[in-house]
Amino acid sequence: MRVFSERRAVTARLNEQAKVGKPHEVVVHGSATGFAQQITMGGHQLLADEPAALGGTDTGPGPYDFLLSGLGACTSMTVSLYARRKQWPLEGVTVRLRHSRIHAADCEDCEKKDGMLDRIELDVELHGTLTEEQRTRLIEIANKCPVHRTLTSEINIRTQLV
């Protein structure tokens, strides 16, 4: 019973924070125990967690799953928008993503040559009767989606205690 009243209190607090939150603000709340997190994005509420094998309770996707889903959604939206503007016969887009950590020395096209680095593999499947030129151009466009550009640019994160 205590868990349900704590959840209700947290949900009420998150709803209040969302009402006074800044536009495009994401609010994440977690307890000091476990990994489960409640996330509020505008009127949307999500859960995040870690798999049981990593000490979580698997009540939601993990942080890297959210990162990959943002990149995948942006890629698909950008490719679809471009094809619509060009009036190309794109019927759908499927994006599959995987995240891993690799040795920098194993990456031929990376600037960093020592230590570890993050690798995201992004497979784009284009559905429709597109020409090879159209497919090639859409893959070029996929690599220019706003989230892709953010992840490959210098990022300045300012953390402050409030």
Tokens of 95: 């994006």
Confidence band (pLDDT; 50, 70, 90) for 147? very high
- The boundaries of every CATH 3.30.300.20 domain in the chain are 64-151
Give the pLDDT confidence score for residue 113 in this predicted structure.
74
Nearest to 86 by CA among 133, 134, 125: 134
- In this structure, what DSSP letter does residue 143 have? T
Average pLDDT (39-59) is 93
Res. 74: pLDDT tops 90 = yes
Higher pLDDT, 107 or 19: 107
Tell me what the mean pLDDT of segment 139-152 comes to: 96
The one-letter amino acid code at 125 reads E
Name the pLDDT band for 3 (thresholds 50, 70, 90).
very low
pLDDT attached to residue 5: 52
Assigned CATH for 64-151: 3.30.300.20
